[in-house]
Structure 1
Amino acid sequence: MKTKSHNGEIKIPLSKLKMTLLLLGAVLFVALGLWLIFGSFESYSGSYSRYSYVKEPIFRIPVGLLSVVFFGLCAILIFLKLLDGKEGLIINEKGIFDNSGYFSIGLIIWSDIISIENIKQKDNNFILVRVKNPKTYINKARGFMHLKAMRANYKWYNSPIMISANSLQINNKELYTLLMNKMEEFKN
């Protein structure tokens, strides 16, 4: 874990290596989507096999388009975050300043925090921050997609705020422990 501490303030930088790997993965899925759309498949012979539907344009084109659009957007957002020179997460007596992802919310005040939970969503771990006034944080959303993401988090997890260690120079377990310790220290 690489953190900088100054006067009780902890700064966790963004991990350029993790973000570069995520960017490469997103670009790979864009390339796969393009291959599905434009790739050469042997002509459909009419015989049915277990995977013959994959050769059909009715399958290839929509799946390819979804892959290109979704992972292309992910690649753009990761690239923009790579250019961000700010710290990924700052923890101090005021609260948690989240700048870990493109849809980060900024300052989460300690007095607003009800609980911090470690949750698993598919194969990813996230830190869920439950707050007293979720609508206030939802109203801080920057743009349509950010608003949709926060509303979805609120609907599914009863909190709009999720922090991921995927782009930080810390792993999820260490981040959770650090946040729990600091919440106990600063809320008292």
Structure 2
Amino acid sequence: MEQNIHFNRTKISLRILYGFALIAIGFWLLYGDTQALDRFPKLADPNLKKFMGYLIIGLMSVGIVFLIKCLVTNKVGFEIDNDGILDRTSIFSKGKIFWRDIENVEKTTMNFFIEIPALKISLKNSTKPKLFSAGLLDISLDDLIKKVTEKFEETTANSYHNGFGQ
């Protein structure tokens, strides 16, 4: 049975607004009066301010385009089926991950300046795990982990009993 988890339009809309606020800060760094930053020695360099402004505007623009795509698309954000999982919540989608390739499913945290709770999937043929957030989905992270874990255990048990395990 396929389980479709849709994008949460409210969460995405808020992130788009945050992105526009950060773009405004980027334009302020490029064209505004940034003398207030001069009291911080590392931020006094005008070239650094311009670089930061361009970087913020560029990254946030790409992010906003992706988020708008999530809002207008009819695709679901996360699919769980008998073959595996498919995540569409990232610009760099990991593609379909098959149950037979998964070694372990657990909760962890990602560290991007702050700790962000995440779903961690360890693969049998890779030392680098795949990390997923429920930040754009219409489900809590704990419920997402529960659904993925249940389907993983069900599928793994069926594979083993049918002679495909080991």
1:34 to 27, 30, 35: 27
- Measured after TM superposition, the shift of residue 41 of structure 1 is 3.9
1:129 to 116, 121, 124: 121
- Measured after TM superposition, the shift of residue 56 of structure 1 is 4.2
Query: Is 1:184 matched up with 2:132?
Result: no
- Measured after TM superposition, the shift of residue 34 of structure 1 is 0.7
Amino acid in the other structure paired with 2:14: L
Give deviations 1:103-148, integer Å, cap 9, x for gaps. 22332111111111222123322212222234xxxxxxxxxxxxxx
Mapped to 1, the partners of 2:36 and 2:156 lie a distance apart of 66
Amino acid in the other structure paired with 2:69: L
Question: How many residues of Structure 1 are paired with residues of Structure 2 in the alignment?
Answer: 154
- Measured after TM superposition, the shift of residue 43 of structure 1 is 9.5
Give deviations 1:33-58, integer Å, cap 9, x for gaps. 111110024599xxxx8436545413
1:166 to 126, 130, 135: 135
| Secondary structure of 2:4 counterpart | strand
Residue 106 of structure 2 corresponds to which residue in structure 1? 117
Q: Which runs of 5+ in 1 are unaligned?
A: 1-7, 135-153
Amino acid in the other structure paired with 1:61: K
* TM-score under structure 2 length normalisation: 0.80
Q: Which runs of 5+ in 2 are unaligned?
A: 158-166
Mapped to 2, the partners of 1:95 and 1:69 lie a distance apart of 34
The structure-2 alpha-carbon separation of the partners of 1:31 and 1:43, relative to structure 1 and needing over 3 Å to count, comes to closer
The structure-2 alpha-carbon separation of the partners of 1:81 and 1:43, relative to structure 1 and needing over 3 Å to count, comes to closer
Contact 1:81–1:102 under 8 Å retained in 2: no
* TM-score under structure 1 length normalisation: 0.72
Mapped to 2, the partners of 1:105 and 1:114 lie a distance apart of 16
| Secondary structure of 1:11 counterpart | strand
Give deviations 1:53-79, integer Å, cap 9, x for gaps. 545413321221221122222112222
Mapped to 2, the partners of 1:73 and 1:43 lie a distance apart of 28
Contact 2:28–2:34 under 8 Å retained in 1: no
Residue 12 of structure 1 corresponds to which residue in structure 2? 5
Mapped to 2, the partners of 1:96 and 1:18 lie a distance apart of 22
Mapped to 2, the partners of 1:181 and 1:43 lie a distance apart of 53
Mapped to 1, the partners of 2:55 and 2:9 lie a distance apart of 27
Contact 1:36–1:60 under 8 Å retained in 2: yes
Amino acid in the other structure paired with 1:124: I
Mapped to 1, the partners of 2:36 and 2:2 lie a distance apart of 62
